[in-house]
Amino acid sequence: NAGVTQTPKFQVLKTGQSMTLQCAQDMNHEYMSWYRQDPGMGLRLIHYSVGAGITDQGEVPNGYNVSRSTTEDFPLRLLSAAPSQTSVYFCASSSRDVNGYTFGSGTRLTVV
């Protein structure tokens, strides 16, 4: 089925470890974004991309890196995980027509 695929679904990291959250979409969407969801804080934009090779920072970019080498993929990298990065992470994509983002099912990350 067409949509946004996130892997892994669950991950436990130790403080200081690095990892990459994967996100892929097969709808040929130009726009892709990463959000984190924390209790009582809604979803906050981490990074976004308006096309291959173009990325920009959102509200809470510190501690995260992104790249967009292809239209389909938009990985999120944690270079040195901290307990404050314990959260649920959502990737989303949208066409240029701004019809609303399609969300992946999320990655639940715990940093201990």
Query: First vs last Cα of the chain: how many Å apart?
Result: 35
Please calculate the CA angle 85-87-13 and round it to the nearest 5 degrees.
60
Q: Which of 71, 94, 109, 111 binds another protein (CB under 8 A)?
A: 94
Burial of 102 (0-12, 13-18, 19+ CB in 10 A): middle
Q: Is 103 in the site for another protein (CB under 8 A)?
A: yes
Q: Which of residues 60-89 bind another protein (CB under 8 A)?
A: none
Which of these segments, 10-18, 30-38, 65-73, 75-83, binds another protein (CB under 8 A)? 30-38
Q: Is 110 in the site for another protein (CB under 8 A)?
A: no
Residue 9 contacts residue 39 (beta carbons within 8 Å): no
Q: Tell me phi and psi for residue 83, to 5 degrees.
A: -55, -30
Q: Tell me how far, at minimum, the Cβ of 74 lies from another protein, in Å.
A: 13
Q: Which two tokens stand for residue 103?
A: 């969300």
Q: Is 41 in the site for another protein (CB under 8 A)?
A: yes
Residues in contact with another protein by CB under 8 A are 4, 31, 33, 35, 40-45, 48, 50, 58-59, 90, 92, 94, 96, 98-106
